[in-house]
A and B are shown apart, each in its own frame.
Chain A
């Protein structure tokens, strides 16, 4: 049995059962093109009247979009009534295919599953051939939302009594996920809020720093965080109610009092046994190194899972989880800084000392940590509270031994202490959730201050005032390049080439012949700067080949589109998108004309030279 049905056989069955027109979703662009190509070998032509209807529509489209006149797929479309529609094609071609489909001229369109959102036309039937898709190097299952988006194209309102989803196997299919996707409720969606430099600059342009927090609180991110907070608050209320039940004791904070008293007791006996004691800066830290605490160990962050004493020396030790996911033991002295972050960790009695959920939570938290976190200042008591003699005198200061509440305290303490710790942890978690976005905003403020876009009072400097107009990815790199004068006196084509390599974030391989020296050395400089900024902003790919394509398109204003696409292995649609994106970046530089007239002029020139041929057809 073949691993998948032949496209021609597929169409034959669909036609026979009156299931056309159909949209056939395939795994890759290549699969779509090959499917179309295969019709040439297995004749299944449509009647001449239909062919001529297709020709009429196409003629109409060509009049509007001349670039499709010589499209290599046109003969196939006319003869067999099928077409391919994917991101490798020019937008004008896709519009033509959509129009043909809308007019009912086609029997089948072969499209990629990944660009389902761009397939904005219905059909009687949708053919699904896969249950998983390749995303960045991994294979992931389609979500319910995705499957319903695909299936939803089946059945045209007003043109069909009934629509169909036809599932046909390929090497990428399992029926379970598809059946589930067709029948289950769609997944809820979550906020993907991120703070960016342009966001910070633009908000601070319009609002003073005091007004920022209320604005961030309006986000869907905060709305969802608040819902989590509400759950924690209910828990906190519950814990506090339990604590209430212990009633009044002699002293106000009996739990803390009893805790220090029993600690002091323990310490005294401990010091009798052991001569060695901790240096004051360590013992000051120890109180903070509880499970869930974030710490800095040399250059990396870690989260404490437990604190214990080494068997032999009695030295304070920590078990931590590092961002690599490894669980490691360290002496407490290895901690270079205590971070002002405590995450929720449910302790466990055995390795890894907490629940798997907590471990997972710790790793994700570590992965999310920004490059710099707030440290917790720790005050070291110069008198050294660990001095055994001092402990003795401290003992005298505790009222506990003779207190009337003593029996009750002794009995209730273990449970009460747990509740109190839970209370602290919940309070901290709630605080963290409430201020998370604000923290991230502040981190961005610090970077912008460091680079001189913001004053210490969080107002825009003259640099910040124009930099806020660069509202694209890699904005920090671009504004830094401008400030360094990297674009001064640059040619229009080189400027566009550099911006293209900053804008292009696809690592799909491609090749392009004809690179030039100027581009190589400029990109080398840009790469250095991008690297130096990598702590603050992810460096772009800076591909030379895409820079060279754009550079050539501008440097040779008479170069026809067909020649440009022949010089590279990149698909036509990808080149179009690359150029369109570069135009967008250039127009942002052009927006700086009041502060950087020279640069704006170069950008203008580049844009004028770029907009020709195919790039003029659509807005």
Chain B
């Protein structure tokens, strides 16, 4: 087999299979990404390579091409590897090599605690709250932006209008945190929690539960045997709605959205995902009111990246101070040097004891 064909075949494999191939052939293969795995496999000695090819063909037989995850299969996971192919290999070509790389000092500038400020909602927060009076809303903003504020204000409005609110989270642990948080805001008598086997304060206007419990309630309501006041339900908040893509539980989010009572507004809180517009279009297509998408990628607190060498040396991770979005990346020369050095020392056979 020529090197090119081999390279092509390897490129067609999933990272998972590449790791299998690399096992016992490449030291510390598990640390490598796809491109480097391929490079390393291609640089094996001729005898090793012959052996590799045999293994490869048997793997290809067992997994003819990379079996892509079936879209709706039961027993497989949603593996997202679309970036594998397009990802620039290491070392990447700096897209704009003109500017000098940032210094560590400049990277670490400005650390500190800002003085307390009076709270002023962001525009997107206000927009979300206002939109909710007439529309469903999906909020897809970075982690830690302040989605909870929107949830709380929407709850406040619903309660004022004598409507009930259901708030769901994917994990019981998060439900408990929210119970504490909402009880502090609204008073303990205003917030209840339902779990599979327990109901605490189920008459409260705000009810916290996992999404599964809500789905079950909606099924009971559909068959007309319900001891809950779903007709007064004004708002359903689904936190962490990116769970829609969870292999095992995602279907529960779909069921909940499909069966959400028509008079209740839906508020989906989600971390940044690639296609919130698609989800908004879907919800709009099945609900009486259109679903309004509020989305941004700007972090409310600046985020910078650094590299820390095991020897204790710190360096900027990228050439630029801020993390660029969607325009490729350029690692800082110092980080490249430190990492190459680390690789050399820990990957070379000598250091393997």
Q: Measuring CB to CB, which residues of chain A are less than 8 angstroms from any residue of chain B?
A: 1-5, 9-10, 12-13, 17-19, 91, 94-95, 98, 117-118, 120, 122, 124, 127, 131-132, 135, 138-141, 143-145, 148-149, 151-177, 179-180, 182-194, 196, 199, 202, 205-207, 215, 218-221, 223-224, 321, 325-327, 356, 359-361, 363-365, 367-368, 436, 468, 471, 538, 580, 583-584, 586-588, 590, 607, 611, 618-619
CB distance from B123 to the nearest CB of A (A): 15
Stretch at the interface among B131-139, B156-164, B229-237, B312-320: B312-320
Q: Which of B44-89 contact A (CB under 8 A)?
A: 61-84, 87-89
Q: Which of B153-201 contact A (CB under 8 A)?
A: 170-177, 179, 193, 195-198, 200
Q: For A167, give its contact among B30, B273, B308 (CB under 8 Å).
A: B308
Contact A148 B143 (CB under 8 A): yes
Contact B174 A587 (CB under 8 A): no
Cβ–Cβ < 8 Å partners of A94 in chain B: 173
Contact A155 B301 (CB under 8 A): yes
Please report the C-alpha to C-alpha distance between residue A180 and residue B195 in the assembled complex, in whole angstroms: 39
Question: Of all chain B residues, which has the CB nearest A146?
Answer: B80
Q: For B312, give its contact among A13, A18, A185 (CB under 8 Å).
A: A13
CB distance from B336 to the nearest CB of A (A): 8
Question: Of all chain A residues, which has the CB nearest B239?
Answer: A120
Cβ–Cβ < 8 Å partners of A192 in chain B: 72, 78, 244-248, 250-251
Contact A140 B16 (CB under 8 A): yes
Q: For B90, give its contact among A151, A159, A176, A619 (CB under 8 Å).
A: A176
Contact B273 A186 (CB under 8 A): yes
Please report the C-alpha to C-alpha distance between residue A565 and residue B179 in the assembled complex, in whole angstroms: 28
Q: For B65, give its contact among A143, A205, A360, A590 (CB under 8 Å).
A: A360
Contact B306 A326 (CB under 8 A): no
Contact A153 B72 (CB under 8 A): no
Cβ–Cβ < 8 Å partners of B30 in chain A: 132, 139, 171-172
CB distance from A61 to the nearest CB of B (A): 11
Contact A160 B113 (CB under 8 A): yes
Cβ–Cβ < 8 Å partners of B81 in chain A: 141
Please report the C-alpha to C-alpha distance between residue A325 and residue B62 in the assembled complex, in whole angstroms: 6
Contact A167 B307 (CB under 8 A): yes
Cβ–Cβ < 8 Å partners of A196 in chain B: 251
Interface flag for B258 (CB, 8 Å): yes
Interface flag for B124 (CB, 8 Å): no
The 8 closest A-B pairs by CB, nearest first: A152-B143, A155-B301, A584-B196, A192-B250, A189-B245, A188-B274, A188-B275, A587-B197
Please report the C-alpha to C-alpha distance between residue A364 and residue B79 in the assembled complex, in whole angstroms: 14
Cβ–Cβ < 8 Å partners of B211 in chain A: none
Q: Which of B283-313 contact A (CB under 8 A)?
A: 285-286, 297, 299-312
Cβ–Cβ < 8 Å partners of A199 in chain B: 251, 255
Contact B34 A141 (CB under 8 A): yes
Which of A168, A192, A194 has its CB near the most chain B CB atoms (within 10 A)?
A192
Please report the C-alpha to C-alpha distance between residue A139 and residue B16 in the assembled complex, in whole angstroms: 6
Main SS class of interface, B: loop
Which of B144, B193, B248 has its CB near the most chain A CB atoms (within 10 A)?
B144
Contact A183 B324 (CB under 8 A): yes
Question: Of all chain B residues, which has the CB nearest A135?
Answer: B77
Contact A194 B327 (CB under 8 A): no
CB distance from A474 to the nearest CB of B (A): 13
Please report the C-alpha to C-alpha distance between residue A36 and residue B346 in the assembled complex, in whole angstroms: 25
Contact A161 B282 (CB under 8 A): no
Contact A154 B282 (CB under 8 A): no
A selection of 18 A-B contacts at a CB cut-off of 8 Å is A1-B346, A10-B308, A13-B308, A118-B174, A124-B111, A155-B301, A157-B146, A162-B110, A168-B307, A172-B30, A179-B331, A185-B326, A192-B246, A218-B258, A223-B278, A360-B65, A368-B70, A607-B197
Contact A363 B65 (CB under 8 A): yes
Cβ–Cβ < 8 Å partners of A159 in chain B: 113-114
Cβ–Cβ < 8 Å partners of A1 in chain B: 310-311, 341-342, 345-346, 351
Cβ–Cβ < 8 Å partners of B308 in chain A: 5, 10, 13, 127, 166-168
Please report the C-alpha to C-alpha distance between residue A179 and residue B307 in the assembled complex, in whole angstroms: 11
Cβ–Cβ < 8 Å partners of A118 in chain B: 171, 173-174
CB distance from B349 to the nearest CB of A (A): 15
Please report the C-alpha to C-alpha distance between residue A170 and residue B310 in the assembled complex, in whole angstroms: 9
Cβ–Cβ < 8 Å partners of A138 in chain B: 16, 19
Cβ–Cβ < 8 Å partners of A186 in chain B: 272-274
Cβ–Cβ < 8 Å partners of A202 in chain B: 219, 222-223
Question: Of all chain A residues, which has the CB nearest B335?
Answer: A175
Q: For A165, give its contact among B63, B68, B317 (CB under 8 Å).
A: B317
CB distance from A341 to the nearest CB of B (A): 14
Cβ–Cβ < 8 Å partners of A468 in chain B: 219
Interface flag for B203 (CB, 8 Å): no
| Given A189-B78, A359-B64, A359-B65, 9 more pairs with CB closer than 8 A | A132-B31, A140-B15, A157-B301, A160-B301, A179-B317, A215-B258, A223-B282, A325-B62, A356-B65
Which of B108, B197, B285, B324 has its CB near the most chain A CB atoms (within 10 A)?
B197
Contact B73 A367 (CB under 8 A): yes
Cβ–Cβ < 8 Å partners of A193 in chain B: 72, 250-251, 254
Please report the C-alpha to C-alpha distance between residue A587 and residue B331 in the assembled complex, in whole angstroms: 54
Interface flag for B328 (CB, 8 Å): yes
Please report the C-alpha to C-alpha distance between residue A284 and residue B63 in the assembled complex, in whole angstroms: 34
CB distance from A26 to the nearest CB of B (A): 14
Interface flag for B334 (CB, 8 Å): no
Interface flag for B32 (CB, 8 Å): yes
Please report the C-alpha to C-alpha distance between residue A310 and residue B134 in the assembled complex, in whole angstroms: 69
Contact A360 B64 (CB under 8 A): yes
Please report the C-alpha to C-alpha distance between residue A123 and residue B73 in the assembled complex, in whole angstroms: 38
Contact B198 A619 (CB under 8 A): yes
Cβ–Cβ < 8 Å partners of B66 in chain A: 360
Interface flag for B279 (CB, 8 Å): yes
Interface flag for B323 (CB, 8 Å): yes
Interface flag for B103 (CB, 8 Å): no
Q: For B176, give its contact among A361, A607, A619 (CB under 8 Å).
A: A619
